[in-house]
Structure 1
Amino acid sequence: MDALFSLISPELLAFAFVVTVIAGTVKGAIGFAMPLIMISGLSILIDPKLVVAGIILPIVLTNILQVTKGGLKNAWDALMEYRTYVILVCIMILITSQFVAYVSADMMLLGLGVIVTVLCAIQIAGVRVEIPPHRRKVGSVIAGILSGILGGFSGTWGPTTVLYLVAVDTPKAKQFSVQGVVYGAGAVMLLIGHLKSGILNAQTVPFSLALIPPGVLGMWIGFKIHDRIDQVLFRKATLWVLLIAGINLVRRGIMG
């Protein structure tokens, strides 16, 4: 506990708990957006590099929960069917995560803000890219590389994964399992990558461990309300909030 409070004040830790519960609830309800919410919310008051370290372990565990909720057989089938995309996401996360430690705080805020803003704006606008069957192999490669780059840098590859799954006309019933596999595998690679990059280390790991319970609590709440809400409306409201948060991150990155 002393190690944790030497890293972050009790007040900021309480703030981080609240944001993480909200992020976990949204993820449990609609299947993604936990890293986006945590990065956008926590970076308002907490150093962005510490935020990237803090989100890693909660993301790993909550994605494992998402995979198991969808069923292990469904997860395996999804892995086999979308293996090209999953493999490329994992490879690119490992590679690009090594550069995070060399980016200044202002540049990271700006980069994260641009990523959050653009991805949310695309989804709010309802942009749908359609990849025809004869182009899906190439589409998987391009989408996998792009998602992995974003994941390694910002810790979030959910929105691009959703866009890709819609583009290849993935049945809605299957999307939850595929998302769980992509997020789960990518989260493990993010953990390995940031252990190597030094972002997740002996000093920062207590913060990441501390965010696991609120993350799991949020997921539990989200699972409970999953079938009781208008997911389309809830998702749009979430994206609007994230869009505002993303614009604020861009402002902070530019103004310092």
Structure 2
Amino acid sequence: MFGNDFFWYEALIVLFAGIVHGTLGFGFPMMATPLFALFLDLKKAVLFTLFPTIAVNFLSLKRDNSFGEIWGAYRLLIASVIVGSIVGTNLLVLYDNAYYKLFLAGVILLYLNKERLHISLTHSVAKHPQLMTMLIGFLSGFVGGIANIMIPVLIILILELKLEKKRAIGVMSFCFITNKMLQVLIFGYHGNLNFENFSMILPLIFIAMVGFFIGSRLQDRIDEVLYKKILNFILWILSSYLIVSTFYM
């Protein structure tokens, strides 16, 4: 790995993505995947981010929450994410398609423009919380499987449920860990994960964790209002990137 011409570029990517994740409590695959995709195909870019993503999300969840607490309160959401992840990841592995990203962009833009289109999820979430949780959970797992970026759909639910920052980070981290562990199993089942690949990924896990600890020192300086503004801003940026990258990258 250290003889690889791209290693130091890869190391900088995961360090940067780890810092972002430590600061916001999410964002590692969102930052790392498109940067890896500049010199790797999407399937391999997803593969290289799996274990670092699991590592930083484990640290993120344990910082202010516990696995038992999050599972007990949000097991319906997590179970729905599992089903969606299985479907989406199998589609990515067997039928990789760059246009999958447009599906995710469409979901984000629909949510961001819901007031202009007179669409309200608040009433639906309040009236049918279990059904909406299952639908959004499945959708987040599905798009996480095919595009490796499940955070936009989860942000939609987090904002509608009005969760405070630390609990929101715990819920998102648990969902990310579940999604990525399923992807590891599915990539392995289809023969895409082997000892050679893992030996190349291993140093990146430790670098990502270093980035997380750097970023986590900044997290407590972000209040609830600013946090929600950051979430909405990221949705706009990400939807624009997904559309542009589909046709021009």
Task: Quickly name the TM-score band, shorter chain normalised.
Answer: 0.7 to 0.9
Give the superposition deviation at 1:23.
1.3
* Contact kept? 2:65, 2:167, Cα under 8 Å: no
Matches within 5 A, 1:1-256: 1=1, 5=3, 9-10=4-5, 12-72=6-66, 75-104=67-96, 107=97, 109-112=98-101, 114=102, 117-118=105-106, 121=109, 129-130=121-122, 131-229=124-222, 231=227, 242-243=238-239, 245-252=241-248
* Contact kept? 1:101, 1:198, Cα under 8 Å: no
SS of residue paired to 1:212: helix
* Contact kept? 2:20, 2:26, Cα under 8 Å: yes
The change in CA–CA distance for 1:167 and 1:199 in structure 2 (over 3 A counts) is farther
Unaligned 5+ segments in structure 1 are none
TM-score by length of 1: 0.80
In 2: Cα distance, 1:122 partner to 1:26 partner = 26
Give the superposition deviation at 1:237.
6.2
Unaligned 5+ segments in structure 2 are none
Amino acid at match of 1:144: G
The change in CA–CA distance for 1:239 and 1:144 in structure 2 (over 3 A counts) is closer
TM-score by length of 2: 0.82
In 2: Cα distance, 1:188 partner to 1:84 partner = 18
The change in CA–CA distance for 1:132 and 1:53 in structure 2 (over 3 A counts) is closer
Amino acid at match of 2:53: I
* Contact kept? 1:42, 1:51, Cα under 8 Å: yes
Amino acid at match of 1:181: F
The change in CA–CA distance for 1:125 and 1:216 in structure 2 (over 3 A counts) is farther
* Contact kept? 2:90, 2:186, Cα under 8 Å: yes
Residues paired across the two proteins, number: 241
* Identity across the alignment (%): 17
* Contact kept? 1:98, 1:196, Cα under 8 Å: no
Amino acid at match of 2:58: I
* Contact kept? 1:95, 1:193, Cα under 8 Å: no
The change in CA–CA distance for 1:240 and 1:214 in structure 2 (over 3 A counts) is farther
In 2: Cα distance, 1:27 partner to 1:191 partner = 20
Give the superposition deviation at 1:154.
2.1
Amino acid at match of 1:64: F
Tell me which moved more, 52-61 or 39-48: 39-48
Give the superposition deviation at 1:77.
2.1
In 1: Cα distance, 2:91 partner to 2:166 partner = 36
Give the superposition deviation at 1:123.
7.3
